[in-house]
Structure 1
Amino acid sequence: MQSYSFDLTGRTALVTGSSRGLGYAIARALGHAGASLVINGTNTARLAESAEGLRAEGLSVRTAAFDVTDEKSVVEAFATLDAEGLKVDILVNNAGIQLRKPMIELSLDEWHSVIDTNLTSAFIVGREAARRMIPRGRGKIINIGSLMSGLARPTIAPYTAAKGGIKMLTQAMTAEWAENGIQANAIGPGYMLTDMNQALTSNPQFDAWVKARTPSRRWGKPEELVGTAIFLASSASDYVNGQIIYVDGGMSAVI
């Protein structure tokens, strides 16, 4: 009988946007589950600092500084990993930004910036990873969506559109790559205590709204996301494909 395990020993995980926040928490957890890490960002100083912090915990870490929205940079980064003999077994498309602005005031450049970072990057990086996973007949792709992959709020139109797109991109990856032994799934975090949400957590009115609207009556913690990531990265999820798992304290389950 085949053994299904949460152990990631012997696998390499690339996590985009992982020098801080949710990406850092996910990378750290995958590392403690046994994976060798490739962490990514564009701020080389912060990336180096984050890598040292992970190494201090005994984890195997390599940095890859590239812009996930720049196709040439992504292609070159994967070529470098190839030349070093590193095979990405697990890809976490986490890189993302937020912009809060009424839709009628949005410029096209602002729209593209959010869409490119949150959605197009997952296509570019996912494509390059899949080009290498397909010949090997195995691979795990985890796209980070959001509560906004299925719901909407005012003033975050491009983010909502991008995260809705992540849900469908994940299903498209499944439609094309599942037969090659690749499992593509998504995680939809709810309102989490991260740097990106600092302005919201500091707003007493919004803080009260989140707590009242969430059945768990609190914000989520980044470390509460990692169990789902480990599950989706491991052989325990080998027959899970094309799904989005919401980690949101129950917010998406109630009216």
Structure 2
Amino acid sequence: MYLPSFHLNGKTAIITGAGRGIGKALAIGFAEAGANIALLSRTEADLVDTAKIIEQLGRTAYILPTDVTDRDQVKAAINHVAESAGTIDILVNNAGMNIRSQALDVTDEEWQKIMDTNLKSAFMASQEVGHFMKQQNEGKIITIASVGGHIALRTGVVYAATKAALIQMTKVLAFEWGKYNINVNAIGPWYFKTPLTETLLQDEAYVNDILAVTPLRRIGELEELVGPAIMFASEAGKYITGQTLFVDGGMTINGF
């Protein structure tokens, strides 16, 4: 048979930043594909809303309010999932933030906050989950990077640095953990309609600039990230590792 399997039936996925935006969309999409979902985020109310949708689909949702920049909290959440589900099949490192300061205006506090949220959290979660996946001799790790980690954007130098680091981290983890049958990949989105971009996308001139360098001439819809993520998470992507897939309407072939 040559048609690969894109389902996630019986799998358990941990998704960080799962209460809103991309994380919420991936959590619901993975549940639709058959997975049970562990939802991690600081804001419990957001997780409850996501969990209700997942449970309506007949899947199990684990609500785990977690500061993903805190090693002890991350470890406790992952241990809880392993004990409750008996397996951790998929990790999606999605938690992220941006402060759009010009480079000369970036403060030490901004630098550290973005680094901790975007980069440190992804490494810690990957490392903690990696122990379980190594024992299982199987696992899928997917990190949400950005086109900003591949090409230069107008502002957000610290954000860009974290996303570039995530792309390289993906390659190194894939190289190191391939012998444990762990696939490590990343997705690099361009502009999608999320709480993080909501204010920017109200600026008509800015949107026009975005569209001018996007061959498909539109902003992405969140559900358009679900298919690529499921490919990486399912058997369909079992011979893909160390890669970053830019889901960007063609933007990275142009530049901004």
TM-score range, shorter chain: over 0.9
Q: 2: CA distance between counterparts of 1:79 and 1:32?
A: 25
Query: CA offset at residue 153 of structure 1?
Result: 1.6
* Residue 173 (str. 1) matches residue 169 (str. 2): no
What's the TM-score once normalised by structure 1's chain length? 0.96
CA-CA distance at 1:82 after TM superposition:
3.1
Distance of 2:82 and 2:14 partners within structure 1: 13
Q: Does 1:75 align with 2:83?
A: no
Residue 2 (structure 1) shift:
9.4
Give distance in 1, aligned partners of 2:150 and 2:228.
19
CA distance in 2, matches of 1:146, 1:40: 20
Residue 85 of structure 1 deviates from its aligned partner by 4.2
Structure 2 partner of 1:116: 116
Deviation, structure 1 residue 3: 7.9
Deviation at 1:254, TM superposition (A): 2.3
- Give, in whole Å, the separation in 2 of the partners of 1:83 and 1:69: 22
CA offset digits 1:151-203 (Å, max 9, x no partner): 12232011000000110000011111011000000000011111110111101
Matches within 5 A, 1:39-58: 39-58=39-58
Correspondence for 1:233 = 233
Aligned 1:16-27 pairs, distance under 5 A = 16-27=16-27
**Amino acid paired to 1:17:** G
Assess if the C-alpha contact under 8 Å between 2:137 and 2:181 holds in 1: yes
Between the two proteins, what is the percent identity of the paired residues? Answer: 37
What amino acid maps onto 2:97 in structure 1? I
Secondary structure (helix, strand or coil) at the match of 1:47 reads helix
2:36 and 2:60 in contact (8 A); partners too: yes
What's the secondary structure of 1:76's corresponding residue?
helix
Q: Counterparts of 1:82 and 1:251 in 2: how far apart (Å)? A: 39
Task: Tell me by how many angstroms 1:83 deviates.
Answer: 3.1
Aligned partner of 2:98 in structure 1 is 98
Measured against aligned partners, the alpha-carbon deviations of 1:18-60 in whole angstroms (never above 9, x if no partner) come to 1110111111111111111111111112211221132223332
* Uncovered stretches (5+) of structure 2, i.e. residues with no partner: none
SS at match of 1:185: strand
2:163 corresponding residue in structure 1: 163
Amino acid at match of 2:179: E
Q: Tell me which residue corresponds to 2:137.
A: 137
Report the AA paired with residue 163 of structure 1: K
Correspondence for 1:198: 198
Per-residue CA distance 1:128-151 (angstroms, 9 max, x = gap): 111000011100000000011201
What is the identity, as a one-letter code, of the residue corresponding to 2:236? Answer: A
Once residues 138 and 5 of structure 1 are traced to their aligned partners in structure 2, the CA distance between those partners, rounded to angstroms, is 16
Deviates more, 1:74-83 or 1:192-201: 74-83
Amino acid of the residue matched to residue 72 of structure 1? D
After TM superposition, give the deviation of residue 118 of structure 1 in Å: 0.7
2:126 maps to a residue whose letter is: G
CA drift at 1:213: 1.1
Q: Mark the CA change 1:28 to 1:85 in structure 2 (over 3 Å): closer, same or farther.
A: closer
TM-score, normalising length: structure 2:
0.96
CA distance in 2, matches of 1:82, 1:249: 37
Task: Tell me the SS of whatever aligns to 2:223.
Answer: helix
